[in-house]
């Protein structure tokens, strides 16, 4: 199911006023917040619910619909401090498909960082499906290979003079060691 979906407008709420949760879904953080659209105008007061599957917001007015957005579409989010347009700092969210965006303005400014951090954590719980990752990695490797072997004069500030005139000889001991060091660093440093 993990295909990205656009922002879902819904008024399906749980008994407690939040999003209807899937079996393996739970709310990581929730707080009072106003939703503002791309135009920065407030849609209304309500509550934001950040679950391990989606970011949801429901207005205080139970007659009105709220929004649910899954992480596959939430391309980028950030803390914004645009005091000209907003009462306080807030969390900006950028939707992948068509560049739509919205703002979540917590009622308590102290919640802004928590909202931002929780979305970071939960987004990382939802990596995209592996078929897409594989294709991306293949493309990435091909691009890197193409760019690096095709480019001239780019690699001049690193380890000059160790590999002879054309710079592309059999791996030297130092290069091998450097590669091994990169792997060791990766193993040691689990968190980003």
Partner 1 sequence: SPRIPRGRAASAASEMHFLSFFKTLIGKMIIVELKNDLALKGILHSVDQYLNIKLNDMQVVEPEKYPHLIAVKNCFIRGSVVRYIQLPAKEVDTQLLQDSTRRAAQGESKR
Tell me phi and psi for residue 183, to 5 degrees. Answer: -70, -40
Q: Residue 159 in contact with residue 174, Cβ under 8 Å?
A: yes
Please name the residues in contact with 150: beta carbons below 8 A apart, sequence gap of 6 or more: none
Q: Does 60 bind partner 1 (CB under 8 A)?
A: no
- Pair type for strands 101-106 and 90-95: antiparallel
Residues 7-46 that bind partner 1 (CB under 8 A): 38, 40
Q: Does 52 bind partner 1 (CB under 8 A)?
A: no
3-state secondary structure of 150: helix
Site string for partner 1, 68-97 (x = CB under 8 A): ---xx-xxxxxxxxx---------x-x-xx
Show the tokens assigned to 5: 């979906």
* CA 75 to chain CA mean position, Å: 5
Give the one residue of 87, 144, 164, 165 binding partner 1; rule: CB under 8 A: 144
Residue (46 or 70) nearer to partner 1, CB: 70
Give the one residue of 15, 23, 63, 99 binding partner 1; rule: CB under 8 A: 99
Site string for partner 1, 106-135 (x = CB under 8 A): ----------x--xx--xx--xx-x-xxx-
Q: How many residues bind partner 1 (CB under 8 A)?
A: 62
């Amino acid at each position: 199911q993990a295909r990205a979906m656009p922002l879902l407008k819904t008024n399906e709420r749980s008994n407690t006023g939040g999003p209807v949760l899937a079996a393996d879904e739970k709310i990581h953080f929730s707080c009072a917040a106003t939703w503002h659209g791309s135009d920065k105008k407030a849609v209304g007061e309500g509550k934001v619910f950040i679950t391990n599957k989606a970011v949801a917001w429901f207005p205080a007015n139970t007659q009105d619909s709220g929004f649910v957005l899954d992480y596959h579409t939430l391309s980028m989010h950030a803390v914004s401090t645009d005091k000209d347009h907003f009462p306080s700092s807030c969390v900006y969210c950028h939707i992948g498909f068509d560049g739509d965006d919205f703002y979540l303005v917590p009622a308590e400014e102290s919640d802004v960082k928590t909202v931002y951090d929780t979305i970071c954590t939960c987004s990382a719980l939802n990596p995209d499906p592996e078929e897409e990752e594989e294709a991306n990695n293949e493309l990435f490797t091909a691009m890197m290979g193409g760019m690096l072997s095709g480019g001239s004069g780019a690699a001049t500030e690193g380890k000059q003079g160790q590999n002879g005139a054309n710079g592309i000889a059999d791996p030297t001991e130092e290069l091998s060691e450097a590669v091994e060091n990169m792997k060791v660093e990766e193993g040691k440093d689990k968190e980003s």
